[in-house]
């Protein structure tokens, strides 16, 4: 676990102390970065507090997709007990265990399956059902963390909700004047190595030798590394930024690619121009949109998936965001099943998987009805 415990010293009477212990979390939590390095210690009660109601009845969510992501995430958790993200995270402070997270995901799946089989209204879309069957924790944004990274918040009552997507692009089997950049497969010198084994041998491996600019300039051409597909430079940047890309080949065939392992260079938040980032990802061809994981990843779905700080929040949290749409309160549900370099640590932002789009214009049009900031809740099955 990545948290440490500090007991508060209370100069109060026994009765007051007992009331405090029953009402308030007293465990500190140490936030870590992507590499597992300790960053700072926080009190989770600064950002999370018990709630009883959402304040809206309108829920816009696809139950089947939500259940699919919940099922996938639960399966991943059970396969990867030793993964850093498979933990209760800072919610241990609220007596939330990993078993509670698993039970929550299982409850989503069973509820949707039962209602679908019985051909009755989906209870997962009923706010009264959610308030009765789940514990609600309201989430206040870490305004200090946002300010540190020069991110402007509306207020600390609402999280920043960014949106990510999978781009569509045209691809080629061979390099052309336009399709000048390859998505490369993992170099053959680590094809049979686990991520842990590769990390231990990083000084010897091709993957760690080059940054993105060197690879774009052709550093891998004579290194026996397989180009999976050739894209335009913008197509490459879209794939690296979003982590996935849906490619249409000249014969009309559709192929999905997802990030596999990176070159060991961290994402640099101070660099605003994506082409200047030095991190490069090697890719693999996959059967769907993939979320969190290393070689083995969670298959995610648009509209019901959030990316966030899984190393501190813990993978698999059921999340609700509440916002106004045309003056009326609206809510969406999703599972924390993905992450990214900008989220470690990050307690002021979530990234919503919006869908698959051919270009930025169609993406912007589709997400125009989605909020930039939203009241946010974490739900734990009772």
pLDDT band at residue 33, thresholds of 50, 70 and 90?
confident
Contacts of 151 (CB under 8 A, 6+ apart): 160, 348, 349
Q: What angle do CA 73, 196, 237 make, to 5 degrees?
A: 70
Q: What is the pLDDT of residues 137-161, one digit of tens each?
A: 999 999 999 999 899 999 999 999 9
How confident is the model over 98-139, as pLDDT tens digits? 999 999 999 999 999 999 999 999 999 999 999 999 999 999
> Which whole-number Å values give the CA distances from 32 to 35, 45, 62, 318, 344, in the listed order?
8, 18, 33, 22, 7
- CATH code for the domain defined by 171-289: 2.40.240.50
Q: Where does residue 302 rank: exposed (0-12), middle (13-18), buried (19+ CB within 10 A)?
A: buried
Q: Please tell me the predicted confidence (pLDDT) of residue 377.
A: 98
State residue 294's pLDDT score.
Answer: 86
Q: Region 225-242: what's the mean pLDDT?
A: 95
Token digits of residue 367: 């997400």
Confidence of residue 168 (pLDDT cuts 50, 70, 90): very high
Buried b (16+ CB within 10 A) or exposed e, 178-216: ebbbbbbbbbebbeebeeeebeeeeeebbbbbbbbeebb
- Would the pLDDT of 218 be above 60? yes
pLDDT at position 23 is 47
Q: Examine the pLDDT at 19 and tell me if it is beyond 90.
A: no
Comma-separated ranges of CATH 2.40.240.50 domains in the chain = 171-289
Which range (79-83, 106-110, 270-274, 378-382) has the least confidence?
Answer: 270-274
Reported as a pLDDT band with limits 50, 70 and 90, residue 74 is: very high
Q: Report pLDDT for 17.
A: 40
Question: Which of the four CATH numbers 3.60.150.10, 3.40.50.300, 1.20.1250.20, 2.40.40.10 does domain 46-164+299-381 have?
Answer: 2.40.40.10
Residues of the chain with CATH 2.40.40.10: 46-164+299-381
Asked whether residue 15 carries a pLDDT value surpassing 60, the answer given is no
Q: pLDDT > 70: what percent of the chain?
A: 93
Mean pLDDT of 173-190: 96
Q: Is the pLDDT assigned to residue 21 strictly greater than 60?
A: no
Nearest to 343 by CA among 73, 69, 149, 180: 149
List beta partners, residue 160: 349, 373
Q: Is the pLDDT of residue 16 over 80?
A: no
Q: What is the pLDDT of residue 359?
A: 87
Question: Quick one: average pLDDT of 65-74?
Answer: 98
Residue 26's pLDDT is 56
The stretch 78-86 carries a mean pLDDT of 96
| Most distant CA pair in the chain, distance | 77
How far is Cα of residue 272 from the mean position of the Cα atoms in its chain? 21
Structure tokens at 145: 């963390």
Q: Is the pLDDT of residue 14 over 60?
A: no
pLDDT at 12: 40
Mean pLDDT of 351-375: 94
* Partners of 244 in the β-ladder: 258
376, two tokens = 């946010």
pLDDT at 6 over 80: no
Q: Which two tokens stand for residue 276?
A: 């200047």
Dihedral (Cα; 246, 250, 253, 258), 10-degree rounding: -30
pLDDT value, residue 1: 40
Q: 27: part of which helix (H) or strand (E)?
A: none
In the predicted model, what is the mean pLDDT of the chain? 91
- The predicted pLDDT at position 114 comes to 98
């Amino acid at each position: 676990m990545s948290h440490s415990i500090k007991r508060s010293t209370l100069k109060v009477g026994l009765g007051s102390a007992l009331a405090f212990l029953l009402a308030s979390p007293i465990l500190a939590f140490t936030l870590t970065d992507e590499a597992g390095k300790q960053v700072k210690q926080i009190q989770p009660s600064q950002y999370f507090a018990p709630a009883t109601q959402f304040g809206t009845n309108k829920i816009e969510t696809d139950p089947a997709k939500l259940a699919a992501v919940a099922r996938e995430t639960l399966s991943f958790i059970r396969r990867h007990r030793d993964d850093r993200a498979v933990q209760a995270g800072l919610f241990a402070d609220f007596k939330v265990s990993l078993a509670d997270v698993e039970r929550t995901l299982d409850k989503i799946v069973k509820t949707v399956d039962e209602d679908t089989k019985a051909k009755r209204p989906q209870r997962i879309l009923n706010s009264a059902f959610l308030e009765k069957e789940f514990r609600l924790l309201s989430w206040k944004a870490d305004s200090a963390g946002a300010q540190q990274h020069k991110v402007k918040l509306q207020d600390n009552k609402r999280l920043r909700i960014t949106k990510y997507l999978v781009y569509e692009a045209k691809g080629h089997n061979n390099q052309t004047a336009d399709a000048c950049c390859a998505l490369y497969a993992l170099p053959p010198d680590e094809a049979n190595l686990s991520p842990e084994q590769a990390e231990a041998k990083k000084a010897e491996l091709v993957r760690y030798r080059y940054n993105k600019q060197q690879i774009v300039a052709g550093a891998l051409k004579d290194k026996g590394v397989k180009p999976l597909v050739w894209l335009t430079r913008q197509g490459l940047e879209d794939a690296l930024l979003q982590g996935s890309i849906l490619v249409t080949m000249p014969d009309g065939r559709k192929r999905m690619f997802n990030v596999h392992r990176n070159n060991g260079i961290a994402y640099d938040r101070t660099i605003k121009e994506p082409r200047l980032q030095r991190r490069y990802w090697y890719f693999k061809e996959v059967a769907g949109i993939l979320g969190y994981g290393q070689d083995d990843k969670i298959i995610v779905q648009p509209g019901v998936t959030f990316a966030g700080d899984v190393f501190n929040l813990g993978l698999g949290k059921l999340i609700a965001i509440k916002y106004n749409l045309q003056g009326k309160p609206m809510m969406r549900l999703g599972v924390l099943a993905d992450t990214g370099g900008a989220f470690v640590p990050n307690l002021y932002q979530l990234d919503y998987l919006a869908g698959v789009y051919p270009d930025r214009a169609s993406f912007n049009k589709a997400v125009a009805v989605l909020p930039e900031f939203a009241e946010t809740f974490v739900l734990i099955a009772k």
